[in-house]
Amino acid sequence: MSWTWFHKLASPPYVYALAARLTPWFAWPAALLILGGLYAGLVLAPPDYQQGEGFRIIYVHAPTAWLSILVYVVMGVSAGIGLIWRMKVAHAVAASCAPIGASFTVAALVTGSLWGKPMWGTFWEWDPRLVSELILLFLYLGYLGLRAGFDDTQRADRASALLAVVGLVNVPIIHYSVVWWNSLHQAPSVMQLGKPKMPASMLTPLLMVLLGFTLFFVALLLVRLRAEVLQRERSASWLREALRA
């Protein structure tokens, strides 16, 4: 298998142009899927017999929760690639992911809290999922904080990349221990997500928004990546040429 496509990805000008070309291919389908899915879920789907209308928040909560972890994985993997192969572009991808992931995590926490209030009366439950989301937020904040602490981009890249990889390895451990802790005290689980008995009218919109939000993340990442590359390569000659053209 030829690895030239991988090597090409290491070149900032190539990635800069590629990101511009790919963005619409992700942005438009994302918009369609999200809007369609939300319409189907919020309007068309019948109310849940247990939770009534309140369950509909799942159409926003589930994607944000799913993305908060997906983005972390993408961040960790690209950070690892940047660390091992010393690819600046990989570090730029990781840097672009972090604020997106942190925002999705906050959104997941907020929607999770909002879901809890009408259903179980409290804005916060020490539920393993919510607690894991909260810890994930701190992992993101730690990454962003470490990045911000170094003026030298290269140092910031490499130190935060190591942190991201370490965090990635730790996420399963932390999640498992939180679940273990929660099981000791038999607290009720707030979120019941992805029950296989969900009828198609509820499940299809869910899948649509999940996919739609994922594509949205990719589009957002591509846009941020372009900005990140611009900033890092500001004194490079290829950029001056491209801007002049």
* Tokens (6 digits) for 13: 């000008």
Does 139 sit near another protein (CB under 8 A)? yes
Element (H, E) at 85: helix 58-85
* Tokens (6 digits) for 69: 């972890």
Residue the block writes with tokens 């409290």: 122
Contact segment (CB under 8 A) with another protein among 29-37, 104-112, 175-183, 201-209 equals 175-183
Does 109 sit near another protein (CB under 8 A)? no
Nearer to another protein, 50 or 235 (CB): 235
Name the residue among 35, 42, 44, 39 with its Cα closest to residue 56. 42
CB of 42 to another protein, least distance (A): 35
CB of 240 to another protein, least distance (A): 15
Name the residue among 115, 118, 119, 140 with its Cα closest to residue 129. 115
* Tokens (6 digits) for 4: 């030239």
Name the residue among 23, 4, 21, 174 with its Cα closest to residue 96. 23
Does 84 sit near another protein (CB under 8 A)? no
Name the residue among 155, 143, 61 with its Cα closest to residue 96. 143
Does 158 sit near another protein (CB under 8 A)? yes
Among 7, 86, 117, 240, interactor with another protein by CB under 8 A: 86
Nearer to another protein, 45 or 136 (CB): 136
Does 189 sit near another protein (CB under 8 A)? no
Nearer to another protein, 29 or 80 (CB): 80
Q: Mapped to the 3 state alphabet, what secondary structure does 131-149 carry?
A: HHHHHHHHHHHHHHHHHHC
> What is residue 187's three-state secondary structure?
coil
CB of 47 to another protein, least distance (A): 38
* Tokens (6 digits) for 155: 């140092």
Q: How many residues of this chain bind another protein (CB under 8 A)?
A: 32
Per CB under 8 A, residues contacting another protein are: 86, 135, 138-139, 141-142, 145-146, 149-155, 158-159, 162-163, 166-167, 169-170, 173-174, 176-178, 180-181, 184, 235
